[in-house]
Structure 1
Amino acid sequence: MTELKNILYKVAINAVVGNTITNVNKIEFDSRKVGQEDVFVAIRGSVSDGHDFIEKAINQGALAVICEKTPDVIVNGVTYVEVQDTQSALAIMASNYYGSPSENLKLIGVTGTNGKTTIASLLYMLFKKAGFKVGLLSTVKIMVDIEEYKATHTTPDSLMINHYLKEMNKAGVEYCFMEVSSHGIHQKRTEGLAFAGGIFTNLSHDHLDYHNTFKEYRDVKKIFFDNLPEKAFALVNKDDKNGVFMLQNTKAKQYTYGLKSYADYRGQILENSLGGLLLKLNDHEVWVKLIGTFNAYNLLAIFGTAELLGLETIETLQLLSDLHSVSGRFEYMISENKITAIVDYAHTPDALKNVLETINDIRTNNETLITIVGCGGDRDKTKRPVMGNIAAKLSNKTIFTSDNPRTENPDKIIEDIEKGVEPQHYKKTLSITDRRQAIKTACQLANKNDIILIAGKGHETYQEINGERMDFNDFEIIKKELKKLNK
């Protein structure tokens, strides 16, 4: 049990009805999970409003209610706390409830459109190899040092974030690397957290179903940097025109990285092949197992962060050379009959373009590049024709298929993608709604030395159709299909 008054420390309160000097059990924002002597936080969501469930929460035993509007009917014995913003209040309360766990480790946030998962995950690996106890909060998984937990969102809710940070405290974790999504920032899930640093990767077309305009999407990302404290560092990609914009108004110490610009952490690609990259990082040469220009940027951000967190340069370079790709991020295999299969999470136009350009840079052009791509349902529709255009233009053959259609008709999604294909590329494309069949067809079309790219789902091990999640793993399926060709 914790005293309500202590949980409300630093929350902007408008009014109180009742007594805050009372002990409460736990905090909940889902009325279905409320139990005896809990605090219920009424959040206004895009689908439902928690204020409509205040009565239900009280009937289930809530002792206190945090709301933006105090109900007309007051129940005796229940404390009502009216606040400016319940999302912000929840984040601050969650931190207070768990004893401000972010203050007891160095928490680094990674934000941007592409590269968040790779950078956070590789930083986790690098610092583990350096001998530290490390935490990770990512799209793929949550790590409390060596204990692994399943991730459900890019940025979990405030209660979950602080719960895992508290577990990290218990495990003696010194550094935690965390993906920070635009949704998470907008919904104030990261408020109340003490960040020691922030990394900006890049900004391109994504999530416009949620943010409405690119400007709104960009400005939300900037909030993260605006809120960094003086003691923190802000490390941004100077080659992205939005990088310097992120630094405006930040109180944090400012640093930059880039391949094209003069920056604090400068990189140069000396060699780029399917075997890896030879890079020059601030006058030091290093060979790494990762592939492509986009990974050169990721490695620059990792190099800069490691230096800013106090690792020695030579040790950092040695550790970089030992890193391997993250699950579903340019993950590849070469079959017995010499067909290369690549699985990548590229689900935005910019990410798809980066991956295809990387493949085209390192191949001889004697091979056929076959791309399998789709777009998610119930998400930003404006990017569909753009992705269709990029895939058809930069591949020799393209198969449009289902991604996670969710509640949308997959054929309609594919029609939207096809609209972006220019007439001269029509003959290079075909559409197969069934994703498994699309992968099978690509394998049948491929000859020795050809390359198959399966884009969009990456690390995901499911396909979501009509609200149901079914087992589906791109990498495992193409492995099986290519094996069949060897028989």
Structure 2
Amino acid sequence: MELKKILNNIDYELKSGDLTKNITELKYDSREIEKDNLFVAISGFETDGHQYIDQALDKGAAAVVLEKDREKYEKGVTYIKVKNSRKIMAEIAKNFFSDPLKDINLIGITGTNGKTTTSYLLYNILKEYKSKAALFGTIKNIIGEQELGSKRTTAESVDLYRYFAQMREKNIKYGVMEVSSHALDLYRVYGMDFKAAVFTNISQEHLDYHENLENYREVKSKLFSQLKSNNFAVINNDDQNSDYIKAKSQGKNYTYSLDSETADLYTTQFKLHSQGMEYKTGGKVNSKFLLNLGGIFNIYNSLAAILTAYLLGINKTVIKKALTKINSVPGRFEIINAGQDFQIVVDYAHTPDGMKNVLETAAAMEKNKLIVLFGCGGDRDRSKRPAMAELAEKYADYIIVSNDNPRSENPQQIFSEIKKGFSKKFSAYEIIADRQKAIEKAIKIAKKDDLVMLLGRGHEKYQVLKDGKIELDDRKVAYQAAEKVKGS
């Protein structure tokens, strides 16, 4: 596409070169640049893309979008200066890929907890409805039959528009996307036309980035303030922030609740059992639903998916059929069964609220003793560490504290801050830094009918340490450890 067309309706300053060049691709990573690509220099957290402009030029970049002036503007290269590279990148990606969202119904899901499960449930409903759909999120990205890896909850804008273009090529009309607070704040979804936006909840998370809950909530609300008037929002009416989100929404608001009959969808009664749950709903959808997932929090997640699907025009028979086919969500209250005589559950819960949800569910399950393994991520919100220890003590019979992606932080510092949450008289815990050894120990000490909860990492397959990443999948380690115990 001609560069001038890519920059249509965009505010910029042409520093050098011309706009007649034909651009073959958009790239923000200089290592991926090929001949006649447009390189967008982004000021990142750890590295500044402006430092890699020369590398991009050496690899054949024809034009550069930047925020900062250069000492020298090379001949033959077009330099385009803008105020915010990330924001402009979303706009030029929309132009370059000819706005594929014109032909797609995109549903964005945001909140502290429940994004992944809600998106997974809704994706499966849409797939049942139209035989093919797309999913973009924490675990993986799926476009029809094609599965792609996922580096972060919400991809960069250029990557997302490339995915949307692939959806258009495959005639896929529906896509579900997890939208993180970082994505909203860093313009990854700026200007995108969402058919619907779903709000799950807000609790303490990412305060290392947002500083306080008010900032965090404000950023989350951006998804709803960018809705068009003919689109809609689906909001958890039981969350204390629901009125704030409603006020920010520019679309038509619909609500779901566990028991409030003023909501558009609510439960009239529910029952949790060992295989999952069943509940009846009132409001816009009057029916009985069966779900092979445990926990009251998953009632909320499924209500959000059901109401969104209904508002998209999907029949309740299709919704019910899709939900009964789902046996688990990867790394979300995922049961590990190697034939052992006790239960093992792996869950992604890594916030106080998420941990409270899964531990309340564990407390209600039939079991002997509850063994909980958890940790807290390094270089992240430190205030949640003692809070999570306090919760673990409240529900668990025995606790093992271990690494959970310490990153550049000293694990011993993390452990000392976690320990502050335990009461002085509490001693039913130990610290095992090595995550694999900690999991093996938790499973080795489990007796018949105990429940072992491995929390914090869920679907993740790598542990991030100070000196790099190592392969570590809690589910795989747990299964292998359970097989050893079973065979001994």
- Shorter chain as denominator, the TM-score bin is over 0.9
Equivalent pair of 1:110/1:199 in contact (CA under 8 Å): yes
Equivalent pair of 2:109/2:197 in contact (CA under 8 Å): yes
Q: 2:317 aligns with which of 298, 314, 319?
A: 314
Q: Greater CA deviation, 338-347 or 240-249?
A: 240-249
Which residue does the alignment assign to 1:427?
427
Q: How far 1:378 moved relative to its partner? A: 2.0
Q: Greater CA deviation, 181-190 or 245-254?
A: 245-254
1:338 equivalenced with 2:337 (yes/no): no
Distance 1:402 1:135 in 2: 34
1:368 equivalenced with 2:369 (yes/no): yes
Which residue does the alignment assign to 2:153?
154
Which residue does the alignment assign to 1:466?
466
Distance 1:157 1:138 in 2: 12
Q: 2:350 aligns with which of 335, 347, 350?
A: 347
Which residue does the alignment assign to 2:481?
481
Q: How far 1:422 moved relative to its partner? A: 1.7
1:215 equivalenced with 2:214 (yes/no): yes
Distance 2:450 2:338 in 1: 10
Which residue does the alignment assign to 1:411?
412
Distance 2:410 2:48 in 1: 28
Structure 1: state its 5+ residue gaps.
none
Quick one: percent identity of the two aligned structures? 37
Q: State the AA in 2 paired with 1:475.
A: R
Distance 2:132 2:303 in 1: 23
Which residue does the alignment assign to 1:21?
20
Q: How far 1:441 moved relative to its partner? A: 1.7
Distance 1:486 1:24, change over 3 A: closer
Distance 1:13 1:213 in 2: 34
Distance 1:310 1:379 in 2: 41
Q: State the AA in 1 paired with 2:308.
A: T
Distance 1:249 1:406 in 2: 36
Q: State the AA in 1 paired with 2:479.
A: K
Distance 2:259 2:412 in 1: 41
Distance 1:474 1:322, change over 3 A: same
Equivalent pair of 2:124/2:323 in contact (CA under 8 Å): no
Q: How far 1:81 moved relative to its partner? A: 2.0
Which residue does the alignment assign to 2:266?
266
1:154 alignment partner, SS class:
coil
Q: How far 1:269 moved relative to its partner? A: 4.5
Q: Greater CA deviation, 180-189 or 45-54?
A: 45-54
Distance 2:248 2:444 in 1: 55
Q: How far 1:246 moved relative to its partner? A: 1.4
Q: State the AA in 1 paired with 2:133.
A: V
Q: How far 1:351 moved relative to its partner? A: 0.4
Q: Deviations over 1:96-129 (max 9, x none)?
A: 1122122211111111111111111121122222
Distance 1:434 1:485 in 2: 19
Distance 1:119 1:34, change over 3 A: same
Equivalent pair of 1:371/1:399 in contact (CA under 8 Å): yes
1:433 alignment partner, SS class:
coil
Q: Greater CA deviation, 7-16 or 222-231?
A: 7-16
2:195 alignment partner, SS class:
strand
Q: Deviations over 1:150-196 (max 9, x none)?
A: 11110011111111111111122111000101111111011132211
Q: How far 1:231 moved relative to its partner? A: 2.1
2:301 alignment partner, SS class:
helix
Which residue does the alignment assign to 2:102?
103
Q: How far 1:338 moved relative to its partner? A: 2.3
Q: How does the TM-score come out when normalised to structure 1?
A: 0.95
Q: How far 1:226 moved relative to its partner? A: 0.6
1:311 alignment partner, SS class:
coil
Equivalent pair of 2:106/2:194 in contact (CA under 8 Å): yes
1:45 equivalenced with 2:44 (yes/no): yes
Q: How far 1:17 moved relative to its partner? A: 4.1
Equivalent pair of 2:392/2:399 in contact (CA under 8 Å): yes
Q: Greater CA deviation, 449-458 or 312-321?
A: 312-321
Distance 1:48 1:435, change over 3 A: closer
Which residue does the alignment assign to 1:164?
163
Q: Greater CA deviation, 464-473 or 388-397?
A: 464-473
Q: How many residues align?
A: 483
2:427 alignment partner, SS class:
helix
1:385 equivalenced with 2:393 (yes/no): no
Q: State the AA in 2 paired with 1:392.
A: E
Q: How far 1:24 moved relative to its partner? A: 1.9
Q: State the AA in 2 paired with 1:434.
A: D
Equivalent pair of 1:196/1:233 in contact (CA under 8 Å): yes
2:248 alignment partner, SS class:
coil
Which residue does the alignment assign to 1:241?
240
Which residue does the alignment assign to 2:396?
395
Q: How far 1:436 moved relative to its partner? A: 1.7
